[in-house]
A and B are shown apart, each in its own frame.
Chain A
Amino acid sequence: MAGNVYKSPLTPAVFHILLALSTQNRHGYGIMKQVEMDSEGVVTMGPGTLYGSISRMIEAGLICEAEPDELESKDGERRIYYTITSSGTTLLQTEISRLRQIIKRAKKIKLAGVKLQII
């Protein structure tokens, strides 16, 4: 599976996983919950999609396993936390800039003479 290259525009799964990991290291279930929260329930991921994406994103160097610290392993369960890499952060920033540009342009569009209401 070598040779995974991600570039903007990202798929919703990759974008939301990067976004979820941009604030703190999380395990699989934590990522799923954060994605749900970030997207206000619009994007939901099953374990198959999540771990398939994680596998390819690790391969592409966007995320990696985090060093387990005291706080993360206190429940005594075998949890693997993931962290975003510098390449992942750069790609996320690029994608956010792209989305901002789209929003900026969309705000100028008038549909049937009425300006779009974008919050």
Chain B
Amino acid sequence: MNPNKQNKLLESLYAWLLVMYPKDFYNRFAVEMKETFKDLLLEKTSQNGNILSFAFGVYLEIFINILKENITFYHMNYISIIRSGLITLAVLSIPFVAMQSGGNVNWTAFDFLAAGLILAFVFSTIELVSKKSNNLYYRLGPIVSVFTAAFMLVSVSAVSLIGSVGEPANLVYYGVFVALIITSILAKFKPKSMAVAMSSITGLLIFITIIAIALGWQNLLGSSLFEVVAVNGFFGVLFAISAGLFYISSSQKSITNKISDLKV
């Protein structure tokens, strides 16, 4: 690729990443940060350095700092972090106690770690979102979507959603999880765009149901037509609810903006 074209593309990707900074930070520093990145690319080009690995290193560094700035911006203080950690531990204590009491539960250290990470992510998101807005719908939208995604991930990993444990057909739900992350990033977590993103996930689950039935997944060992429809329907409805909550919060926001405009 032409070096100029390549640099333009890398600059566009960088500019796109910067949008994820908190609004105040973005408005204050984005222009300068783009200029600085442009200078760094020019410097690397003149040194005949590996532009791509350099750019991706910067993207990673920026991504980490975006997380940091967002956490600071939304005042996610230590108390919130400790609270999320304690709730996670409380939930994890349930399978732990069940194991000690000689039940059928038999979790490995990896299971505890994976479940702990997922739960910590869910509770941290809830903490973060609850401080972002006073709008109930705007708070509930991400909470429902994050909870649904985590529940789907845990279910598919622990017990499988289609057929028996280890059935390769379940891999499609990891794809849904990846699609959820990508569409949310593309939506930049804005309510209206998130409503579209969550609707597209519901659409994707409907599409998976149709393909699954066409491929005969209902005939797999331990599966049934009811299971295929119910599993996809359950998660599809939850994502649709999340889309609805995002949509209501975006409409309320635009009404509030219109009222403020009228007052002005």
Contacts and interface: CB of A to CB of B under 8 A. Distances in A.
Contacts of B68: 52
Interface size class of A (residues with CB under 8 A): 10 to 19
Contacts of B189: none
Given A46-B61, A49-B65, A54 B36 contact: no
B109 interface: no
Name the prevailing secondary structure of the B interface residues: helix
B186 to A, nearest CB: 21
A27 B32 CA distance: 9
A77 B40 CA distance: 16
A76 interface: no
B72 interface: yes
A96 interface: no
B112 interface: no
Contacts of B37: 47
Given A27-B32, A55-B25, A46 B62 contact: yes
Contact of A78 (B31, B63, B64, B65): B31
Nearest to A56: B72
B69 interface: yes
Interface size class of B (residues with CB under 8 A): 20 to 34
B10 to A, nearest CB: 13
A32 interface: yes
A28 B116 CA distance: 40
B5 interface: no
B247 to A, nearest CB: 32
Interface string A43-66: 000111111101100000000000
11 contacts: A28-B33, A28-B36, A32-B36, A47-B37, A47-B58, A51-B29, A51-B32, A51-B36, A52-B65, A78-B31, A79-B32
Interface of A: 1, 27-29, 32, 46-52, 54-55, 77-80
